[in-house]
Structure 1
């Protein structure tokens, strides 16, 4: 017994899908739209799957996604990734640690480094968390990266002062150690 194919939504036509396929910058979405356009034109689901380079069951999934969300349903969404290793309790403790701003084991008073925080999380909760993950967790909690180290206030002034005239060579004297030679053969 053959399964009845899922019908395509009636508010679209083949020409509209082909037009949408031309406008999109997503190659996978364009391929899916073109495959579904052939179904609107009367092609079999097997032919549409062949055009899309997939099996009939995948083409059926496209029809279901298209029926539910239109052309936007044929865009691949970013995978959410693995769930966070830190739970709500650990996250609160981490933020509390940052608010208290303890002096790290390095003896520096510049604040905690991500590597110090990762070590603290391991010692407190026996959870191994990468520096990148910890950085993302803190960014999501509203903590940004620290600004770059401030320069000494006098450093900029010294470099902007004009050179004293006595340091410049006299206009008629040859500079010592001049290594450039003329490309015309004159010395």
Structure 2
């Protein structure tokens, strides 16, 4: 069994609890509270119970927190399906969909059409 990953040293339990109270993101607050318990000497298992997750998830939170700070504990947007068209193809499609006024159409308006 490996050793636990250390939490970054520029935060402490009190500061994380303050951030948890200030955030509007409930999931981030729960994660901050769980990590604050580790800073205060609690076990990873206690933090997992506090966060209602497994110890592996707490480890993932520690890694994200160490890399990006408190913002790393905010749920990100899922990447979704990659686009089927590249930038050149999208530009060509946009140009085909929005053509310039056609001269024949303009002549048939005979001053009646509004452009």
1:92-107 equivalence runs, <5 A? 92-101=91-100
1:78, distance to aligned residue in structure 2 (A):
1.3
Aligned counterparts of 2:59 and 2:81: Cα–Cα separation in 1: 28
Rounded to whole Å, the distance in 2 between the matches of 1:20 and 1:88 is: 40
Counterpart residue number, 1:87: 86
SS at match of 1:95: helix
C-alpha RMSD of the superposition: 2.2
TM-score if structure 1 supplies the norm length? Answer: 0.51
Q: What is the aligned residue count?
A: 105
Unmatched tracts of structure 1, length 5 or more: 104-108, 110-187
Task: Spell out, residue by residue over 1:76-115, the C-alpha distance to the aligned partner (whole angstroms, 9 max, x if none).
Answer: 1112321122233431321221353478xxxxx9xxxxxx
Number of the residue aligned with 2:11: 12
1:88-167 alignment, distance < 5 Å: 88-101=87-100
Higher relative contact order (CA 8 A, sep 6+): 2
Q: Deviations over 1:43-94 (max 9, x none)?
A: 1101101111111111001001111111111111112321122233431321
Q: Which has the larger radius of gyration?
A: 1
Cα separation, 2, equivalents of 1:102 and 1:85: 29
Match of residue 56 from structure 2: 57
Deviations 1:16-35 (A, max 9, x none): 01110000000000000000
